Amino acid sequence: KAGVTQTPRYLIKTRGQQVTLSCSPISGHRSVSWYQQTPGQGLQFLFEYFSETQRNKGNFPGRFSGRQFSNSRSEMNVSTLELGDSALYLCASSIGLAGAREQFFGPGTRLTVL
């Protein structure tokens, strides 16, 4: 069974630009969660989607948004990029809502904002 895949793996953008990251969950998984990992803040929860609906949301500004498609694939968008958005963005999938289920993480997308 293929694992969680994320594209692209590396990305370099400049301040003010926007970026879209993609996540393909494990087949049959309906929940996709997104996390931001930085050396200073550690792993922080962004949001969780289940059956195309955002079910949970972390404390991030509205510049961070996401969506989930009918095939459970998910995209995350960051608009008006800031230097502080440089981070590893991780996506995780689970069969049901992540609170009571095992999550499987992808390798992440390394975003660098110059």
Partner 1 sequence: DAKTTQPNSMESNEEEPVHLPCNHSTISGTDYIHWYRQLPSQGPEYVIHGLTSNVNNRMASLAIAEDRKSSTLILHRATLRDAAVYYCILRDGNQFYFGTGTSLTVIP
Catalog residues that contact partner 1 under the rule CB under 8 A: 4, 33, 35, 42-45, 55-59, 90, 92, 98-100, 102-108
Q: How far is the CB of 85 from partner 1 (least distance, A)?
A: 18
Q: How far is the CB of 50 from partner 1 (least distance, A)?
A: 12
- Residue (4 or 113) nearer to partner 1, CB: 4
Q: What is the DSSP letter of 85?
A: G
Q: How far is the CB of 67 from partner 1 (least distance, A)?
A: 18
Classify each residue of 49-85 as buried b or exposed e, where b means 16 or more C-beta atoms within 10 Å of its C-beta: bbeeeeeeeeebeeebbbbbeeebebbbebeebeeeb
User: H or E stretch including 104?
Assistant: strand 104-105
- Residue (70 or 100) nearer to partner 1, CB: 100
- Residue (40 or 70) nearer to partner 1, CB: 40
